[in-house]
């Protein structure tokens, strides 16, 4: 999908732009933009997030994993093409 490619080109913090103070770990639509296709947290060098918001994202994703809203990936050989379709 086209939106998937555009996000890699961004080098500014989209959370600062949106003046985000809190990232809701229950909102998987927000969190999925911070995850790779293997459910890994996107590194800051790709997302352009500032340190403050990257830490918020990491905390939200860790909470979402803990509450089973998003899966942990253990088998790195099994790449899911559309991991978030099953969440909706
Ligand atoms: Zn920020």
Where are the chain's structural domains? 2-66
Query: Residue 65 above 90 pLDDT?
Result: yes
Calculate how far, in angstroms, residue 36's C-alpha sits from the geometric centre of ligand 1: 19
Tokens matching residue 33: 């933009």
Predicted confidence (pLDDT) per residue in 50-62, tens digit = 999 999 999 999 9
Where residue 36 falls among pLDDT bands split at 50, 70, 90? Answer: confident
Predicted confidence (pLDDT) per residue in 66-81, tens digit = 998 988 876 555 555 5
Domain 2-66 maps to which CATH number in 3.30.360.10, 2.40.50.140, 3.30.1180.20, 4.10.640.10? 4.10.640.10
Calculate how far, in angstroms, residue 52's C-alpha sits from the geometric centre of ligand 1: 6
Q: What is the DSSP string of the chain?
A: -HHHHHHHH--S-HHHHTT-S---TT-HHHHGGGB-TTSPBPPHHHH---HHHHHHHHHHHHHHHHTTSS-----TT---SSTTTTT-
Calculate how far, in angstroms, residue 77's C-alpha sits from the geometric centre of ligand 1: 32
Query: Does this model's pTM top 0.85?
Result: no
- The torsion angles phi and psi of 41, rounded to 5 degrees, stand at -70, 130
């Amino acid at each position: 999908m086209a939106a998937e490619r555009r996000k890699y080109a961004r080098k500014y913090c989209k959370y600062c732009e949106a003046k985000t103070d809190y990232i809701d770990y229950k909102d998987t639509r927000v969190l999925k933009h911070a995850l790779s296709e293997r459910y890994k947290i996107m590194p800051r060098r790709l997302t352009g997030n500032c340190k403050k918001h990257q830490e918020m994202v990491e905390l939200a994703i860790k909470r979402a994993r803990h509450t089973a809203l998003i899966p942990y990936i253990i088998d790195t050989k099994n790449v899911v093409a559309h991991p978030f379709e099953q969440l909706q």
